[in-house]
A and B are shown apart, each in its own frame.
Chain A
Amino acid sequence: NAGVTQTPKFQVLKTGQSMTLQCAQDMNHEYMSWYRQDPGMGLRLIHYSVGAGITDQGEVPNGYNVSRSTTEDFPLRLLSAAPSQTSVYFCASNGLAGADEQFFGPGTRLTVL
């Protein structure tokens, strides 16, 4: 199993550009989540999904969109990038809600100029 994969690993954008961060998992997990990690602030939840076709907002959803058309994929879209979105983004997946540990991808380091 590849686990949780994320692409790209690094990305530089200009303010106002849009892009999609890809996330895929091959463990047939129902739950998938997107977090951003900023220095000294731990991980903050952006959006999450409890299954194909079902998504919900986390703590910091503004400026981001998600969709879940399949169990495996959970892309994160930046609609119009802003410097405040410079961060490291992690995708995670897990099985039964509340009980299973999360499996994390390697992260995408995004810089918005």
Chain B
Amino acid sequence: AQSVAQPEDQVNVAEGNPLTVKCTYSVSGNPYLFWYVQYPNRGLQFLLKYITGDNLVKGSYGFEAEFNKSQTSFHLKKPSALVSDSAVLYFCAVGAGKSTFGDGTTLTVKP
């Protein structure tokens, strides 16, 4: 069985500072890992994915994620946070079609 953990319900960061939203996973075989963002009263939108290749993947809105096989982690990062990045839920997921999602992390960026 596959599983995903997002250990932080909420992440707070000041505007302009780097942000990290943590995700760890458990899956047999090669992982297909995804990050999605959900705005209030909306469906999820795709940010980025890791399938194979470079451990650092870049996605939409300046976000990137680092895949670490030894630590089974796939943390979402952004070098400089914007206020507009906040007030949403960020979800980490493993697999597609039969995906397992983390419980989500709310990001708050303070001006």
**Chain A contacts to B: CB under 8 angstroms:** 4, 31, 33, 35, 40-45, 48, 50, 56, 58-59, 90, 92, 94, 97-107
**Which residues of the partner chain A approach B36 to less than 8 Å between Cβ atoms?**
101-102, 104
A-B contact pairs, 12 of them (CB 8 A): A33-B97, A33-B98, A33-B99, A41-B103, A42-B91, A42-B104, A43-B101, A92-B43, A97-B97, A102-B96, A104-B43, A107-B43
**Which residues of the partner chain B approach A102 to less than 8 Å between Cβ atoms?**
34, 36, 44, 46, 96-97, 99
Q: Which of B71-111 contact A (CB under 8 A)?
A: 91, 95-104
Contacting residue for A50 out of B51, B97, B102, CB 8 A:
B97
B49 at the interface (CB under 8 A from A): yes
Contact B91 A43 (CB under 8 A): yes
B45 at the interface (CB under 8 A from A): yes
A95 and B83 CA atoms in complex are apart in Å by 33
